[in-house]
Amino acid sequence: MKSFLRRFVKSKSAVAGFLIISINIIFALFAPYIATHQFDDMDFMYILAKPGEGGHIFGTDDFGRDIFTRLVYGSRISLLVGVISVGIGAFIGSILGIIAGYFEGFLGALIMRFNDALLSFPYVLLAIAMMAVLGPGLFNAMIAIGIVMIPSFARVIRSAVLNIKEETFVTAAKVLGASNMRVIFSHILPNIVPSLIIYSSLNFSGAVISEATLSFLGLGIQPPTPSWGSMLSEAKDFLQVAPHMAIFPGLAILITCVGFNLLGDGLRDILDPRLRK
Protein backbone atom coordinates (compact mmCIF):
# COMPACT_ATOMS: atom_id res chain seq x y z
CA MET A 1 0.00 0.00 0.00
CA LYS A 2 2.85 2.38 0.90
CA SER A 3 4.60 1.62 -2.36
CA PHE A 4 1.34 2.21 -4.23
CA LEU A 5 0.86 5.60 -2.56
CA ARG A 6 4.48 6.55 -3.28
CA ARG A 7 4.05 5.68 -6.95
CA PHE A 8 0.66 7.43 -7.03
CA VAL A 9 2.10 10.69 -5.67
CA LYS A 10 4.93 10.50 -8.21
CA SER A 11 2.51 10.10 -11.14
CA LYS A 12 1.62 13.59 -12.39
CA SER A 13 -1.27 12.23 -14.42
CA ALA A 14 -2.81 10.31 -11.51
CA VAL A 15 -2.46 13.26 -9.11
CA ALA A 16 -3.94 15.74 -11.62
CA GLY A 17 -6.85 13.40 -12.32
CA PHE A 18 -7.40 12.76 -8.62
CA LEU A 19 -7.49 16.52 -7.90
CA ILE A 20 -10.02 17.23 -10.67
CA ILE A 21 -12.28 14.40 -9.52
CA SER A 22 -11.95 15.43 -5.87
CA ILE A 23 -13.14 18.95 -6.74
CA ASN A 24 -16.02 17.39 -8.62
CA ILE A 25 -16.96 15.21 -5.65
CA ILE A 26 -16.80 18.22 -3.30
CA PHE A 27 -19.12 20.14 -5.65
CA ALA A 28 -21.54 17.23 -5.74
CA LEU A 29 -21.53 16.61 -1.97
CA PHE A 30 -21.76 20.24 -0.90
CA ALA A 31 -23.87 21.55 -3.77
CA PRO A 32 -26.38 23.44 -1.55
CA TYR A 33 -23.52 25.29 0.18
CA ILE A 34 -21.49 26.03 -2.96
CA ALA A 35 -24.36 27.01 -5.27
CA THR A 36 -25.23 30.69 -5.30
CA HIS A 37 -28.96 30.18 -6.06
CA GLN A 38 -31.62 27.47 -6.06
CA PHE A 39 -31.22 25.31 -9.17
CA ASP A 40 -34.80 26.01 -10.31
CA ASP A 41 -35.01 29.67 -9.24
CA MET A 42 -36.02 31.85 -12.19
CA ASP A 43 -34.67 35.39 -12.30
CA PHE A 44 -36.97 37.06 -14.82
CA MET A 45 -34.95 40.28 -14.68
CA TYR A 46 -31.94 38.44 -16.02
CA ILE A 47 -33.07 36.03 -18.72
CA LEU A 48 -30.12 34.89 -20.90
CA ALA A 49 -27.84 37.15 -18.82
CA LYS A 50 -24.19 37.13 -19.83
CA PRO A 51 -21.58 35.79 -17.36
CA GLY A 52 -21.17 38.19 -14.45
CA GLU A 53 -24.45 40.05 -14.97
CA GLY A 54 -26.83 40.39 -12.01
CA GLY A 55 -24.65 38.31 -9.70
CA HIS A 56 -24.76 35.27 -11.98
CA ILE A 57 -21.10 34.14 -12.36
CA PHE A 58 -21.71 32.03 -15.48
CA GLY A 59 -24.84 33.93 -16.58
CA THR A 60 -28.38 32.57 -16.81
CA ASP A 61 -30.36 30.37 -19.20
CA ASP A 62 -33.57 31.08 -21.13
CA PHE A 63 -35.63 30.73 -17.92
CA GLY A 64 -33.32 33.05 -15.99
CA ARG A 65 -31.88 30.13 -13.99
CA ASP A 66 -28.33 30.48 -12.68
CA ILE A 67 -25.97 28.40 -14.84
CA PHE A 68 -23.25 28.05 -12.18
CA THR A 69 -25.80 26.67 -9.70
CA ARG A 70 -27.17 24.21 -12.24
CA LEU A 71 -23.63 23.08 -13.09
CA VAL A 72 -22.87 22.46 -9.41
CA TYR A 73 -26.05 20.39 -8.99
CA GLY A 74 -25.46 18.72 -12.36
CA SER A 75 -22.21 17.26 -11.03
CA ARG A 76 -24.35 15.11 -8.71
CA ILE A 77 -26.13 13.50 -11.65
CA SER A 78 -22.90 12.91 -13.58
CA LEU A 79 -21.15 11.27 -10.64
CA LEU A 80 -24.23 9.23 -9.72
CA VAL A 81 -24.62 7.94 -13.27
CA GLY A 82 -20.89 7.23 -13.39
CA VAL A 83 -20.86 5.26 -10.14
CA ILE A 84 -24.02 3.24 -10.79
CA SER A 85 -23.41 2.53 -14.49
CA VAL A 86 -19.76 1.60 -14.05
CA GLY A 87 -20.82 -0.44 -11.00
CA ILE A 88 -23.34 -2.40 -13.07
CA GLY A 89 -20.87 -2.88 -15.94
CA ALA A 90 -18.02 -3.89 -13.63
CA PHE A 91 -20.08 -6.23 -11.45
CA ILE A 92 -21.91 -8.18 -14.15
CA GLY A 93 -18.98 -7.92 -16.59
CA SER A 94 -16.62 -9.37 -13.97
CA ILE A 95 -18.91 -12.31 -13.21
CA LEU A 96 -19.23 -13.11 -16.92
CA GLY A 97 -15.51 -12.53 -17.52
CA ILE A 98 -14.53 -14.83 -14.65
CA ILE A 99 -16.89 -17.59 -15.78
CA ALA A 100 -15.72 -17.30 -19.40
CA GLY A 101 -12.05 -17.11 -18.48
CA TYR A 102 -11.89 -19.64 -15.66
CA PHE A 103 -14.20 -22.36 -16.94
CA GLU A 104 -13.82 -21.75 -20.71
CA GLY A 105 -15.52 -24.68 -22.54
CA PHE A 106 -19.00 -24.37 -24.04
CA LEU A 107 -20.32 -21.92 -21.44
CA GLY A 108 -17.28 -19.67 -21.83
CA ALA A 109 -17.57 -19.75 -25.61
CA LEU A 110 -21.30 -18.99 -25.44
CA ILE A 111 -20.72 -16.02 -23.14
CA MET A 112 -17.98 -14.66 -25.37
CA ARG A 113 -20.02 -15.01 -28.57
CA PHE A 114 -22.88 -13.14 -26.94
CA ASN A 115 -20.34 -10.63 -25.71
CA ASP A 116 -18.93 -10.19 -29.20
CA ALA A 117 -22.44 -9.57 -30.49
CA LEU A 118 -23.01 -6.86 -27.87
CA LEU A 119 -19.65 -5.36 -28.82
CA SER A 120 -20.83 -5.28 -32.42
CA PHE A 121 -23.16 -2.47 -31.50
CA PRO A 122 -21.51 0.89 -31.28
CA TYR A 123 -21.61 1.72 -27.57
CA VAL A 124 -23.65 4.94 -27.75
CA LEU A 125 -26.07 3.59 -30.31
CA LEU A 126 -27.10 0.66 -28.14
CA ALA A 127 -27.64 2.95 -25.15
CA ILE A 128 -29.73 5.30 -27.30
CA ALA A 129 -31.79 2.40 -28.66
CA MET A 130 -32.37 1.00 -25.18
CA MET A 131 -33.47 4.39 -23.88
CA ALA A 132 -35.75 4.84 -26.87
CA VAL A 133 -37.50 1.64 -25.89
CA LEU A 134 -37.34 1.94 -22.08
CA GLY A 135 -38.32 5.60 -22.02
CA PRO A 136 -36.43 8.60 -20.65
CA GLY A 137 -35.32 9.05 -17.03
CA LEU A 138 -32.33 8.86 -14.69
CA PHE A 139 -32.91 5.27 -13.58
CA ASN A 140 -33.30 3.94 -17.12
CA ALA A 141 -30.24 5.91 -18.26
CA MET A 142 -28.08 4.36 -15.56
CA ILE A 143 -29.32 0.87 -16.44
CA ALA A 144 -28.85 1.36 -20.18
CA ILE A 145 -25.32 2.77 -19.82
CA GLY A 146 -24.44 0.04 -17.32
CA ILE A 147 -25.66 -2.71 -19.65
CA VAL A 148 -23.71 -1.44 -22.65
CA MET A 149 -20.58 -1.41 -20.50
CA ILE A 150 -20.90 -5.09 -19.52
CA PRO A 151 -19.29 -6.65 -22.64
CA SER A 152 -16.11 -4.58 -22.56
CA PHE A 153 -15.65 -5.30 -18.83
CA ALA A 154 -16.28 -9.00 -19.47
CA ARG A 155 -13.62 -9.06 -22.19
CA VAL A 156 -10.99 -7.29 -20.09
CA ILE A 157 -11.64 -9.42 -17.00
CA ARG A 158 -11.67 -12.63 -19.05
CA SER A 159 -8.24 -11.92 -20.48
CA ALA A 160 -6.94 -11.03 -16.99
CA VAL A 161 -8.35 -14.31 -15.62
CA LEU A 162 -6.83 -16.31 -18.51
CA ASN A 163 -3.40 -14.92 -17.60
CA ILE A 164 -3.74 -15.40 -13.85
CA LYS A 165 -5.08 -18.94 -13.96
CA GLU A 166 -1.84 -20.11 -15.63
CA GLU A 167 0.23 -18.76 -12.70
CA THR A 168 2.01 -21.24 -10.47
CA PHE A 169 0.21 -20.15 -7.29
CA VAL A 170 -3.15 -21.01 -8.87
CA THR A 171 -1.91 -24.41 -9.99
CA ALA A 172 -0.49 -24.97 -6.49
CA ALA A 173 -3.84 -24.10 -4.88
CA LYS A 174 -5.62 -26.56 -7.18
CA VAL A 175 -3.07 -29.31 -6.44
CA LEU A 176 -3.63 -28.73 -2.72
CA GLY A 177 -7.31 -29.47 -3.31
CA ALA A 178 -8.82 -25.97 -3.28
CA SER A 179 -12.31 -25.85 -4.78
CA ASN A 180 -13.05 -23.73 -7.85
CA MET A 181 -14.91 -21.21 -5.68
CA ARG A 182 -11.95 -20.94 -3.32
CA VAL A 183 -9.50 -20.50 -6.19
CA ILE A 184 -11.71 -17.81 -7.73
CA PHE A 185 -12.40 -15.86 -4.54
CA SER A 186 -9.01 -16.23 -2.84
CA HIS A 187 -6.59 -16.24 -5.76
CA ILE A 188 -8.16 -14.97 -8.98
CA LEU A 189 -10.36 -12.14 -7.65
CA PRO A 190 -7.69 -10.27 -5.67
CA ASN A 191 -5.43 -10.36 -8.72
CA ILE A 192 -7.95 -8.93 -11.16
CA VAL A 193 -8.69 -5.96 -8.89
CA PRO A 194 -5.96 -3.77 -10.49
CA SER A 195 -7.41 -4.38 -13.98
CA LEU A 196 -10.87 -3.66 -12.62
CA ILE A 197 -9.78 -0.38 -11.00
CA ILE A 198 -7.97 0.84 -14.12
CA TYR A 199 -10.78 -0.09 -16.46
CA SER A 200 -13.49 1.34 -14.18
CA SER A 201 -11.67 4.63 -13.96
CA LEU A 202 -11.29 4.84 -17.73
CA ASN A 203 -14.96 3.93 -18.20
CA PHE A 204 -16.17 6.67 -15.89
CA SER A 205 -15.59 9.29 -18.55
CA GLY A 206 -17.51 7.12 -21.01
CA ALA A 207 -20.44 6.98 -18.58
CA VAL A 208 -20.40 10.76 -18.03
CA ILE A 209 -20.38 11.41 -21.79
CA SER A 210 -23.08 8.80 -22.39
CA GLU A 211 -25.37 10.41 -19.82
CA ALA A 212 -24.75 13.80 -21.39
CA THR A 213 -25.45 12.32 -24.82
CA LEU A 214 -28.72 10.73 -23.75
CA SER A 215 -29.85 13.89 -21.98
CA PHE A 216 -28.80 15.98 -24.98
CA LEU A 217 -31.08 13.86 -27.16
CA GLY A 218 -33.90 14.29 -24.62
CA LEU A 219 -33.67 10.66 -23.51
CA GLY A 220 -31.89 11.02 -20.19
CA ILE A 221 -32.54 13.31 -17.26
CA GLN A 222 -35.76 15.25 -17.59
CA PRO A 223 -36.26 18.94 -16.71
CA PRO A 224 -36.17 20.70 -14.33
CA THR A 225 -33.49 18.39 -12.80
CA PRO A 226 -30.18 19.91 -13.85
CA SER A 227 -27.86 17.69 -15.84
CA TRP A 228 -24.97 18.84 -17.99
CA GLY A 229 -26.34 17.06 -21.06
CA SER A 230 -29.85 18.52 -20.75
CA MET A 231 -28.32 21.97 -20.22
CA LEU A 232 -26.51 21.52 -23.54
CA SER A 233 -29.69 20.33 -25.16
CA GLU A 234 -31.47 23.52 -24.06
CA ALA A 235 -28.48 25.61 -25.16
CA LYS A 236 -28.48 24.44 -28.77
CA ASP A 237 -31.38 26.77 -29.63
CA PHE A 238 -29.58 29.82 -28.21
CA LEU A 239 -26.08 29.49 -29.70
CA GLN A 240 -26.39 32.85 -31.46
CA VAL A 241 -27.67 34.94 -28.53
CA ALA A 242 -26.33 33.10 -25.50
CA PRO A 243 -23.29 30.94 -26.36
CA HIS A 244 -22.36 30.81 -22.65
CA MET A 245 -25.32 28.49 -22.12
CA ALA A 246 -23.43 25.88 -24.16
CA ILE A 247 -19.84 26.72 -23.23
CA PHE A 248 -19.94 26.11 -19.46
CA PRO A 249 -21.79 22.76 -19.29
CA GLY A 250 -19.56 21.43 -22.09
CA LEU A 251 -16.46 22.56 -20.24
CA ALA A 252 -17.72 20.86 -17.09
CA ILE A 253 -18.12 17.56 -18.99
CA LEU A 254 -14.74 17.97 -20.67
CA ILE A 255 -12.86 18.73 -17.44
CA THR A 256 -14.53 15.84 -15.60
CA CYS A 257 -13.73 13.39 -18.41
CA VAL A 258 -10.13 14.63 -18.66
CA GLY A 259 -9.91 14.04 -14.89
CA PHE A 260 -11.11 10.45 -15.11
CA ASN A 261 -8.92 9.70 -18.14
CA LEU A 262 -5.87 11.18 -16.41
CA LEU A 263 -6.56 9.11 -13.32
CA GLY A 264 -7.12 5.99 -15.43
CA ASP A 265 -3.90 6.53 -17.38
CA GLY A 266 -2.01 7.18 -14.15
CA LEU A 267 -3.42 4.11 -12.43
CA ARG A 268 -2.59 1.98 -15.44
CA ASP A 269 1.05 3.10 -15.27
CA ILE A 270 1.14 2.44 -11.53
CA LEU A 271 -0.76 -0.84 -11.31
CA ASP A 272 0.17 -2.56 -14.56
CA PRO A 273 3.68 -3.92 -13.96
CA ARG A 274 4.17 -4.64 -17.66
CA LEU A 275 3.76 -0.97 -18.53
CA ARG A 276 5.70 0.12 -15.47
CA LYS A 277 8.84 -1.51 -16.91
Partner 1 sequence: MRKYLIKRSLQIIPTLFFVLFITFFLMKLIPGDPAMVILGPEARAEDVLKFKQQLGLDKPVLIQFLMYLKRVLTGDFGKSLIYKQDVLSLIIERFPTTLTLSVLALFIATVVGIPAGILSAIKHNTFWDLLITVLALIGISIPIFWFGMVLIIVFALKLGWLPSVGLGNLENGLWDVIKHLILPSFALGILSMGTITRFTRSSMLEVLRQDYIRTAYAKGLRKRLIIYRHALRNALVPIVTVIGLQLGNLLAGAVLTETVFALPGLGKLMVDAIMRRDFMLVQGEVLFVAIIYIFVNLAVDIFYALINPKIRLSYERG
Q: Which residues bind partner 1 (CB under 8 A)?
A: 113-114, 116-118, 120-126, 128-135, 205, 209, 212-213, 216-219, 232, 235-236, 239-240, 243, 246-247, 249-250, 253-254, 257-258, 260-262, 265
Instruction: Return d(Cα 223, Cα 40) in angstroms, integer.
Output: 10
Question: What is the closest distance, in whole angstroms, from the C-beta atom of residue 165 to partner 1 in the complex?
Answer: 24
Among 90, 108, 88, residue whose Cα is nearest residue 99: 108
Q: Which is nearer to partner 1, 198 or 209 (CB)?
A: 209
Question: What is the closest distance, in whole angstroms, from the C-beta atom of residue 116 to partner 1 in the complex?
Answer: 5
Q: What is the largest CA-CA distance in the chain?
A: 77
Q: Which is nearer to partner 1, 96 or 192 (CB)?
A: 96
Instruction: Return d(Cα 193, Cα 215) in angstroms, integer.
Output: 32
Question: What is the closest distance, in whole angstroms, from the C-beta atom of residue 100 to partner 1 in the complex?
Answer: 14
List Cβ neighbours of 25 (8 Å cut-off, separation of 6 or more): 79
Under 8 Å between Cβ of 179 and 196: no
Q: Which is nearer to partner 1, 134 or 178 (CB)?
A: 134
Long-range contacts of 187-190 (CB under 8 A, 24+ apart): 188/98, 188/102, 188/161, 188/164, 189/98
Question: What is the closest distance, in whole angstroms, from the C-beta atom of residue 222 to partner 1 in the complex?
Answer: 14
Residue 219 DSSP class? S
Question: What is the closest distance, in whole angstroms, from the C-beta atom of residue 228 to partner 1 in the complex?
Answer: 9
Among 70, 57, 222, residue whose Cα is nearest residue 135: 222
Question: What is the closest distance, in whole angstroms, from the C-beta atom of residue 16 to partner 1 in the complex?
Answer: 10
Helix axes 105-119, 138-164, angle to 10 degrees: 130
